[in-house]
Chains A and B, each alone.
Chain A
Amino acid sequence: MKAAIVVFPGTNRERDMALALKRVTGVAPRMIWHHETDLDGLDLVVLPGGFSYGDYLRCGAMAAHSPVMGAVRTFAAKGGHILGVCNGFQILTESGLLPGALLRNADLRFLSQDCYLRVENDQTPFTSRWTKGDVFRTPLAHGDGNYTADPATLERLEGEGRVAFRYASATGQVKADDVASNPNGSLNSIAGVLSENNRICGMMPHPEDLVDPLMGGEDGLPLFEGLVEAVVR
């Protein structure tokens, strides 16, 4: 799998993502500066976490207009695989590559903690190593992770199976009004969504930070293993 990580000014989880990708591919991914526009030959483009442009406007709004994002749109149109995590998810929604938006966390504070995600669709390159209903642990760290969408969009996402992950309790119970299991107050407890062709996935939590037993577990590893399997042709 030829993977690359896009680095915007203010990106700060590119090294975490590189560790996770290297873990499954054996090679360090390419780092792409936001001024670059050549994505030829890549199987996977990752928009990692951080505070692009300081998040001083809406999170991800400035980065969505970076030169590289034009190339990312073309890459998407050609059926390329794209993973956006945290700020990367925000950039994907700001770019219109994924529907919905990420609002300030419900309690208005930055949250850094472990959460549990329930896999809602196992027929995607991002989730194929899990079975629908599986629950895994992952860290989250964000101030603006409260997913929302208008009712029509939400209905479509739910109807088309485009919710990839939902926040849940450790035993898999989903309860949107429960702060303990849905800490940022996301609509329908949505933690990750998919594009129509299932090749673009955006999610707020950080599976890339839980791929090593030394760091507390490998719960996030199946996402990256599944990607390698799906995109290596």
Chain B
Amino acid sequence: MNKPATVDVALAREFGLTAEEYGRVLTIMGRTPTLTELGVFSVMWSEHCSYKSSRKWLRNLPTTAPWVIHGPGENAGVVDIGQGYAAIFKMESHNHPSFIEPYQGAATGVGGILRDVFTMGARPVANLNALRFGSPENPVTRRIIDGVVRGIGGYGNCVGVPTVGGEINFHPAYDGNPLVNAMTVGIARTDKIFLSAAAGVGNPVVYVGSRTGRDGIHGATMSSAEFDEDALSKRPTVQVGDPFIEKLLIEACLELMATDAIVAIQDMGAAGLTSSSVEMAGKGGVGIDLDLDAVPQREPGMTAYEMMLSESQERMLMVLRPDRTDVARRIFEKWELDFAIIGHLTETGHIVVRHKGEVEADIPLAPLADQAPIYDRPATTPVPPAPLEPVHAPLSLDAMLLQLVASPDLCSRAWVWNQYDSTVGGQTVRRPGAADAAIVRVDDTDIALAVTTDCTPRYCQADPKTGGAQAVAEAWRNITATGARPLAVTDNLNFANPEKPEIMGQFIAAIEGMAEACTVLDFPVVSGNVSLYNETRNPDGSTTAILPTPAIGGLGVLENAAHAIGLGMQDGKDVVLLGATLGALGQSIWLREILGREDGPPPAVDLAAERRNGDFVRTEILAGAITACHDLADGGILVGVAEMVMAGGIGCELDSPDSGIRPEAFWFGEDQARYLACVDDGAALCARAAAAGVPARIIARSGGQDLILPSGVTISIARLKNAHETFFPALMDAR
């Protein structure tokens, strides 16, 4: 970026600040800010860093539970998983960069979320990714999938953290704005958790990791505006990742964390040196002096503005005990990483930035944080969709099933998973596709984590409150279906332009639904990220908003990893349907894929039923009665059965429903709070379910190599799999 000449309201606007916000800057400073100071204010007050549109509403989310050690406000959420260990986890978006430059956008998304987790002292043990792409028919989609998948694999595989789960949806609403939400889970001892609040006037401020270059300047500001036709010209604002350096950084930081040298530590993420130094000093209530001449630099001639705003990757900022700097320096030299003392803590309460003998910035930290704008933006309450008129199946049951399992949202993701190393670390108990949540054992213990990401954006579009609740409930179910106890969630709230009342209304309603579900299910939000302005301006002046997508990353724990069960059908079992089936076809995949319609209300979420049914299922799994389990979601019962059959390589014969519901509604309705379970004695399970108030019925008996429909029509596993596994290779490998 060329250095502009004068700092004024016009330049402030270019930096993303409104005139009113710039006025506030002038009041705080009592003078015209320098260019560097304006840069600091603009990134700290950007939507990305300040959450100015969302903060008011995020407060409505429940964030506490007896097992929560650190909720939102730290680099990641921390929960107690027993035996002296904590799970540290967070999900974060890299949506805008991934559209502009899919490989680097996705790769640096993975790198950034890894740093949020290991900066707290955790060894990262699992990565997940929640991805949303545009229509498969859009030629751009193929290029974006290719880059995003290669980027996630290229980074995660190299750093040696297994990628064990995630989800993928397609919808034209993401054509110009794909979503890449990356989640990392790490493990630390509960007594060795590192925080970011700086302390100790005079203590050295140390920079480690990669050198600072001119990449990513104003990335946080870019993420805080909608896209226009010029989006691709913003490629220079996308950072470039180096997973090899990240791997060294992980090992060096963990080695240093085993000593007592670190007072505080934070990664340099969005807004780089600015946000890390401002936040560390601000949280600690101290001042900070930075000498930019000491910052390791990739190229000569960088200005203070550029260094403070750079988003070069793989960098960390630490406050060390002064008597331990040599110990720390030796560790980073061993790992061949830059190590530089670039400043110290002061009692001024200001951030003072010096470069080449000049004071380039001198900003009081308290007002920078306390007077950050917060908006209560106008919002319109979403209008509930009209009920779905009666619909009728145009095809036979077997034809519809084959079409559904082959559809983009339900087909096999193996083409994607097979490019991610899911076994490195040697602790992956259940790999992608083997269970409703991935299962990763904690080294040196019997404990295992169950992790998943979930959201059904088409439900959120139709009814944001129900959709928000459903996303939480589905994550909770997926963890439950493995036998694990759900503990907490991280969220990644992807929405369009919050300055539009209908979008703000979606946001508020989705949070309301999430909050209700988190409360009833004892599943608090411990970390998260908000990504707004996911909206594309079309050449004709109209805009395309993404579907509201509050992605939920759920985490649960099993005291004994050996108790985890998968979803694959087992031979010679009764297959029991648990939970009530009403035949909800509104917003179903069936309605969209078979009838080409996206209407009606999403299935109702009955949180009391979720809790009751899920607690029953988990108890039966841990008692050893249920030996395979699959939660029911997209595609309903028949798709769920087919998924179990394909995963287990064992067929089953379905009973006639006799439910009083039309067959397509029974088999493909997406009622919530339901599970399919393999048990030896279905009648006994049904009796126990009845006693617990959980609707249950035997719907099939497993065995053989075919899925046999009630009509007697037979579909071989081979035929199901052939339909299921075609989409991705056909789309991506076509020459």
**Which residues in A have some Cβ–Cβ distance to B below 8 Å?**
9-10, 12-13, 15-16, 19-20, 33, 49-51, 53-56, 107, 109-113, 139, 141, 143, 206, 208-209, 212, 214-216
Quick one: which of B150, B335, B422 contacts A112, CB cutoff 8 A? B422
Alpha-carbon distance between A109 and B562 when the two chains are bound, in angstroms: 33
User: Quick check: which of B190-198, B386-394, B412-420, B639-647 contacts chain A, the rest being far away?
Assistant: B412-420
Contact B157 A54 (CB under 8 A): no
Contact A50 B160 (CB under 8 A): yes
Contact B421 A112 (CB under 8 A): yes
Contact B420 A9 (CB under 8 A): no
User: Quick check: which of B221-229, B423-431, B625-633 contacts chain A, the rest being far away?
Assistant: B423-431
Quick one: which of A54, A111, A112, A214 contacts B158, CB cutoff 8 A? A54
Contact B418 A13 (CB under 8 A): no
Alpha-carbon distance between A69 and B159 when the two chains are bound, in angstroms: 23
Mind listing 13 A-B residue pairs with CB under 8 Å? A9-B335, A12-B158, A16-B424, A19-B426, A54-B244, A110-B153, A112-B417, A112-B423, A139-B423, A141-B422, A209-B423, A212-B426, A215-B427
Provide the residues of chain A in CB contact with B248, threshold 8 Å.
Answer: 9-10
Distance in angstroms from B39 CB to nearest chain A CB is 32
List the A residue with the shortest CB-CB distance to B149.
A109
**Which residues in B have some Cβ–Cβ distance to A below 8 Å?**
150, 153-154, 157-160, 242-245, 247-248, 334-336, 417-429, 431, 441, 443, 561-562, 733
Contact B562 A214 (CB under 8 A): yes
Distance in angstroms from B258 CB to nearest chain A CB is 14
Provide the residues of chain B in CB contact with A110, threshold 8 Å.
Answer: 150, 153-154, 157, 419-421
Contact B418 A113 (CB under 8 A): yes
Contact B244 A53 (CB under 8 A): yes
Distance in angstroms from B441 CB to nearest chain A CB is 7
How many inter-chain residue pairs (CB < 8 Å) link A and B?
90
Contact B424 A109 (CB under 8 A): no
Alpha-carbon distance between A112 and B158 when the two chains are bound, in angstroms: 13
Provide the residues of chain B in CB contact with A143, threshold 8 Å.
Answer: 157
List the B residue with the shortest CB-CB distance to A54.
B244
Alpha-carbon distance between A19 and B443 when the two chains are bound, in angstroms: 10
Q: Given A12-B160, A112-B422, A113-B418, are A215 and B244 neighbors across the interface (CB < 8 Å)?
A: no
Contact A109 B419 (CB under 8 A): yes
Apart from the given pairs A55-B158, A112-B422, 9 other A-B contacts in the complex at a CB distance below 8 Å: A9-B248, A9-B335, A12-B247, A16-B424, A16-B426, A51-B158, A51-B243, A110-B421, A209-B424
Distance in angstroms from B431 CB to nearest chain A CB is 8
Alpha-carbon distance between A111 and B248 when the two chains are bound, in angstroms: 24
- Which of B153, B154, B160, B419 has the most chain A CB atoms inside 10 A of its CB? B160
List the A residue with the shortest CB-CB distance to B157.
A110
Provide the residues of chain B in CB contact with A50, threshold 8 Å.
Answer: 160
List the B residue with the shortest CB-CB distance to A33.
B334
Quick one: which of B420, B422, B426, B561 contacts A208, CB cutoff 8 A? B426
Contact B244 A12 (CB under 8 A): no
Provide the residues of chain B in CB contact with A20, threshold 8 Å.
Answer: 426
Alpha-carbon distance between A10 and B245 when the two chains are bound, in angstroms: 8
Distance in angstroms from A88 CB to nearest chain B CB is 14
List the A residue with the shortest CB-CB distance to B420.
A112
Contact B429 A141 (CB under 8 A): no
Alpha-carbon distance between A206 and B561 when the two chains are bound, in angstroms: 22
Provide the residues of chain B in CB contact with A112, threshold 8 Å.
Answer: 157, 417-423
Alpha-carbon distance between A139 and B425 when the two chains are bound, in angstroms: 12
Provide the residues of chain A in CB contact with B429, threshold 8 Å.
Answer: 214-216
List the B residue with the shortest CB-CB distance to A213.
B562
Contact B160 A13 (CB under 8 A): yes
Provide the residues of chain A in CB contact with B423, threshold 8 Å.
Answer: 16, 112, 139, 141, 206, 209, 215
Alpha-carbon distance between A141 and B153 when the two chains are bound, in angstroms: 11
Quick one: which of B159, B419, B427, B443 contacts A111, CB cutoff 8 A? B419
Contact A141 B157 (CB under 8 A): yes
Contact B419 A12 (CB under 8 A): no
Contact A141 B421 (CB under 8 A): yes
List the A residue with the shortest CB-CB distance to B439.
A214
Provide the residues of chain A in CB contact with B441, threshold 8 Å.
Answer: 214-215
List the B residue with the shortest CB-CB distance to A139.
B423
Distance in angstroms from A139 CB to nearest chain B CB is 5
Distance in angstroms from B257 CB to nearest chain A CB is 17
Contact A111 B244 (CB under 8 A): no
Provide the residues of chain A in CB contact with B420, threshold 8 Å.
Answer: 110, 112
Contact B424 A10 (CB under 8 A): no
Distance in angstroms from A38 CB to nearest chain B CB is 17
Alpha-carbon distance between A37 and B206 when the two chains are bound, in angstroms: 32
Provide the residues of chain A in CB contact with B153, threshold 8 Å.
Answer: 110
